[in-house]
Amino acid sequence: MKKSALQIARAAYQPKLPVDLSGFVKVVEGEPTQSVADQEEIKALFPNTYGLPELRFEKNPVQTVGKPVNVGVILSGGQAPGGHNVICGLFDGIKKINKSSRLYGFLMGPGGLVDHKYVELTAEVIDEYRNTGGFDIIGSGRTKLEKQEQFDKGLEILKKLDITALVIIGGDDSNTNAAVLAEYYKQIGAGVQVIGCPKTIDGDLKNEVIEASFGFDTATKVYSELIGNIQRDCFSAKKYWHFIKLMGRSASHIALECALQTQPNICIISEEVEAENQTLQDVVNYIADIVARRAANGENFGTVLIPEGLIEFIPAMKNLIGQLNDLLAKNPEVATLSPAEQREWVLSHLTEKNASVYASLPEGVARQLTLDRDPHGNVQVSLIETEKLLSEMVARRLEEMRKEGKYNGKFSALHHFFGYEGRCAAPSNFDADYCYALGYNAAMLINAGVTGYMSSLRNLTAPSVQWLAGGIPITMMFNMERRHGEMKPVIQKALVKLDGKPFQRFAAKRADWAMSTSYVFPGPIQYFGPAEVCDQPTRTLYYEQLDK
């Protein structure tokens, strides 16, 4: 493919490794660890990989030549900026250990391991992908690596290629599965180490020991660029309310981070809506109230950030959707009724509470809830255009308020949804450095002979040369959760903490931002400018570290 001028210039960027990783490293073992909860159950499930110590790497004044190693790498799940740099760092790391080491990439996600689809990643290939966005070097996929026959099938090709270590780059689910795989290969004496790397733009894979997942920094900066541009337009034209939905179904970190960067008039945080047991109408009233108060000041414009997952966090909506799933699965004939008959049927079969929620929805959305089903027969919540749903209900509410004499303005809404726009951007300096170091560090974990570890860098708000490198036993992040009706050991998903500093900061400011129009315009990611422009970590990371 033809390279853009920026790609060519950016290829020359040399990610800055932490000092600890800059030469030969030595391993410092910490105390044995335990899982964050359900210790006995998890210990029983992971007899070979539970309770391992945290590892720290330090600079080793003594030259140590490692043995050559063949390594496999997999990209799992949704794209996140920096994935290529993890692979580049891993490549440079295993070559640093021994020049004869080799790297194989499995194609289109975990399925490539199972189906034996792979490619060797040589220096020539690697050099084409340094500091680029995308996962196209080997592709990614959503196949879940969780069954023993998959593990055994994968082992065949690992043996054939003499691969003794596998690096899985993925989110919480993929890293959960990496730990299960590590345990299994250890148990059967397969002689294959498994190392995980924390990826997800959603920011929901982080905890006490993993400060951030990669991609979040770049993606939120792209979204904030766009939100800032829209806010500047909004403030210039002074005639529209922009409803902006942001990717991230299971947590509102992206919306919160973008709010901290751009200071919109309104940002909804799903975790708060759930904690306060708000209804959809509560959320609508909250927005309509601010619209009306701004209108009273002559300001018929504003911006609203909405997390993609909002609907599923509203307890009343969750209940309604749950009952609809049940009802419609048991009565497939309802699908054949006319829209009006269907509505009547649904209303007469729902509980009183759910029926009243259903009746309060705009007709188009209510219909969508009974029409679009996924292959398992479930309502496809992700197809609901929450940003339009909210603006439509706000418009309705404002008309009520107008009749009550509480509103006298104009309300004209525009809608945006940002997700795919940011997942494959070229990584920011932070993500370029972080990812490269994660990959390089994974090579050091391989050299240390361990398995079931996640590559870890800490102290991330400091310049990258001061980051602390090491490994965290993945089982340390586990607890037991019900998934598809079964209790399973999984990495806890990190939701927005309402008592954490990032949310607290937002909560302290939002009343002011709602009324005073305090927009910030961050502009696009810069790769070449002054450090204060190019090297800032996210506000979320900054405030979280203040907590420590």
Give the residue numbers marked as catalytic: 202
Among 524, 546, 547, 548, binds a second copy (CB under 8 A): 524
C-alpha 17/C-alpha 469 separation (Å) is 10
Using CB under 8 A, which of the segments 157-165, 176-184, 478-486, 526-534 binds a second copy? 526-534
The alpha helices in 276-428, defined as continuous H runs, are 280-296, 310-313, 315-330, 339-349, 352-360, 363-371, 386-403, 420-423
Among 416, 458, 505, 539, binds a second copy (CB under 8 A): 416
User: With binding defined as CB under 8 A, does residue 216 bind a second copy?
Assistant: no
C-alpha 488/C-alpha 479 separation (Å) is 8
Extract the tokens encoding 537.
């970590």
CB 290 within 8 Å of CB 265: yes
CA-wise closest residue to 475 among 487, 490, 457, 488: 490
User: With binding defined as CB under 8 A, does residue 412 bind a second copy?
Assistant: no
CA-wise closest residue to 195 among 469, 451, 464: 451
Extract the tokens encoding 72.
């496999």
Residue with smaller CB distance to a second copy, 6 or 462:
6
Residue with smaller CB distance to a second copy, 5 or 508:
5
x/- map, 9-28, a second copy, by CB under 8 A: xx------------------
Site size for a second copy, by CB under 8 A? 58
Least distance between a second copy and beta carbon 542 (Å): 13
The alpha helices in 142-299, defined as continuous H runs, are 148-160, 172-187, 216-237, 253-262, 270-275, 280-296
Residue with smaller CB distance to a second copy, 449 or 524:
524
x/- map, 247-276, a second copy, by CB under 8 A: ----------------x-------------
Sheet holding 413-418, edge to edge: 266-267, 302-307, 241-246, 413-418
Using CB under 8 A, which of the segments 276-284, 285-293, 350-358, 521-529 binds a second copy? 521-529
321-to-257, 346, 495 alpha-carbon distances in Å: 29, 12, 22
Tell me the β-bridge partners of 373.
379
Work out the number of other CB atoms within 10 angstroms of the CB of residue 531: 9
Identify residues 423-442 at the interface with a second copy (CB under 8 A).
423-426
C-alpha 292/C-alpha 175 separation (Å) is 46
Residue with smaller CB distance to a second copy, 132 or 252:
132
The torsion region of residue 51 among left (phi > 0), alpha (psi -120 to 50) and beta comes to left
x/- map, 111-150, a second copy, by CB under 8 A: ---------------------xxxxx--xx----------
Using CB under 8 A, which of the segments 154-162, 233-241, 274-282, 478-486 binds a second copy? 233-241
CB 247 within 8 Å of CB 257: no
Among 154, 215, 302, 422, binds a second copy (CB under 8 A): 422
User: With binding defined as CB under 8 A, does residue 526 bind a second copy?
Assistant: yes
x/- map, 73-92, a second copy, by CB under 8 A: ------x-------------
Residues that bind a second copy (CB under 8 A): 1-7, 9-10, 79, 108, 132-136, 139-140, 222, 225-226, 228-230, 232-233, 235-238, 242, 263, 414, 416, 420-426, 517-530, 532-533, 536
